[in-house]
Amino acid sequence: MHSLHIPWESDLWWGTRLGHMRGVAYDTAQTARLGGGSVFPRALLWLISSQRPDGSWGEEHLYYHDRVISTLASVVALAEINRSKYERRIRAGLDYLWENSERVKEEQHSTVGFELIYPSLLEEALAVGLDVPMFGLSHYTKLRDEKLEPILTELLYSAKTTVTFSAEFMSNSVNPGRIAQLISSMGCVGNSPSATAYVLKHIESRKALSYLAAIENDDGSMPDVYPFEIFEKAWLIYNFLLSGQQVNDQTLVNLEYLRSCLTRDGVGISKISSVTDSDDTALVLEVLRAFNYEVDSRILESFEADDRFLCFHFERDPSVSANIHVLQALQTCRRTPKTDQMIDKAIKFLQRTRLSGTHWKDKWHISPYYATGNAILTLLNFEPAIAGKAVDWIIGTQNPNGSWGLDGGTPEETAYALQALFCHNQIERIDFEPILRAMTYLSEYDYRTRPIDALWIGKALYAPEIVAKSAIQSVFYMFRKVKGG
């Protein structure tokens, strides 16, 4: 192996302010629609330059939900702005949709709000005269109605449910007199640039416009979500803990910030978020407890359902990672009368959601190595036999180049696999050869010219770069510790 150079070693652990993420096609397209392309002209330019050779928009890794929703939003935006000028691009996008729209059925998990947004976008496409495939419209309209049925009409304008993140699904049925209630103190709607842009199509708001102007990337693109600093800081500290590094001043600052955000209802992705979730809450509880903060795991009881833990209230699909992190938090936090019952519930959920009895996939990440790696870290202390089978699956699925993951492997996926293998190796020795091959792959990867892959599932695929980088960096430190240098 070449000399072990740790990428981003000098500055990564210092963290960020409110989150860092490059732009995605879906939110950029929705923002570009404002003022017929005149309000955010750089967003329009980015959109034009980002169409893929096959006519689609979306991320490098092929995930049909991402490509379909991004492409549909993009052709609607271009048709609204200047159909004749962009006719060739629109036609290429429509051709892609006709050829691939039904392939979303092949994927286990949809992008966030797909069942809400997709039928509304199809209707908007028809309204501007686009010949879009109507496959599945009735299916997704039914899913949309089922999703909204338990949510009172009053809650739609309260910003207290996850549907606020996908507010654009309301299309022209919105109540303009009430929609301003969705705008947060920061100016965003549900921490979503696309939802914020949608509100701005119906009402004027200097605060919302300032929010979009402030978060626009240098290239004109818009992120999938912002701010998301609780999510980012919690993951940064979690990977910091796995790395075994010495605590620095900024780590303590980030911990104090997380403590200040924790309420009796838990936390969301950001301090300004009015919607809490068990995934972020459990991760925050775990990292705070690791640094001897007094935290109350009874916060998690509000997310408890009959057979699992909910990530969000009113969710349609369960989250594997949320249950993993709840189990991790219950392991480290002070015990309560319900701890054993809650632990048993989370373990049983993970047992029955295994794929082929060996691994897991989660609705927040397209790679099985994210869910499986995190499950191993937790189950080592509860169900070592199940963790061992997952370790065998990881070792057996390593790519020839030493990596793990999609399309020949990625550094982030390789990091999740290695975190699990390093931790399992502390309990039961394993063949070190797969680890050496993976570390060679990571050390030879050109991080200067290749961006972090977008593997996380939002409304589109996105890359929370600090989170991914901290996972990658952690395994370099874990390797150093094992090798004694």
Same domain membership, residue 441 and residue 348: yes
Which tens digit of pLDDT belongs to each residue from 261-284?
Answer: 999 999 999 999 989 999 999 999
Question: Whole-model pTM?
Answer: 0.95
349 by DSSP, 3-state: which?
Answer: helix
Cβ atoms 225, 191 nearer than 8 A: yes
Are 162 and 264 members of one domain? no
Q: How far apart are CA 48 and CA 78, in angstroms?
A: 9
Q: Number of folded domains in the chain? A: 2
Whether 125 is covered by a domain: the verdict is yes
| Interval 389-428: pLDDT, tens | 999 999 999 999 999 998 999 999 999 999 999 999 999 9
pLDDT greater than 80 at residue 111: yes
Is 123 inside a domain boundary? yes
Answer whether residue 12 is part of any domain.
no
Residue 286 lies in a domain: no
pLDDT at 168: 95
Residue 9 has pLDDT above 50, yes or no: yes
- How many C-beta atoms surround the C-beta of residue 60 within 10 A? 14
User: What is the per-residue pLDDT across 202-236, written as a single tens digit (0 to 9) for each?
Assistant: 999 999 999 999 999 999 999 999 999 999 999 99
Residue 366: partners with Cβ closer than 8 Å, 6 or more residues away: 61, 63, 109, 406, 455, 456, 457, 461
Residue 263 pairs in a beta bridge with 266
Give me the pLDDT at residue 408, please.
93
Domain encompassing residue 150: 25-215
Q: Cα–Cα distance between 200 and 211 in angstroms, integer?
A: 11
Same domain, 188 and 258: no
How are beta strands 456-457 and 461-462 bridged, if at all?
A: antiparallel
Same domain for 60 and 203? yes
CATH number of the domain bearing residue 398: 1.50.10.20
Q: What DSSP element (H or E) covers 461?
A: strand 461-462
Amino acid at site 164 = T
b/e per residue 148-158 (b: at least 16 CB within 10 A): beebeeeebbe
Final residue of a structural domain among 215, 242, 265: 215
User: What rounded mean pLDDT belongs to the chain?
Assistant: 93
d(CA 405, CA 454) in angstroms, rounded, equals 13
Confidence of residue 11 (pLDDT cuts 50, 70, 90): low
185 within domain boundaries: yes
Enumerate the β-bridge partners of residue 337: none
What's the pLDDT score for residue 3?
A: 57
Q: Domain containing 68 — which CATH number?
A: 1.50.10.160
Question: Nearest to residue 465, comparing CAs of 6, 12, 25?
Answer: 12
Which distant-in-sequence residues (6+ apart) come within 8 Å of 396 by Cβ? none
Look-up of token digits 């070792």: 395
State residue 154's pLDDT score: 67
Structure tokens at 216: 């626009």
- Do 247 and 269 have their domain in common? yes
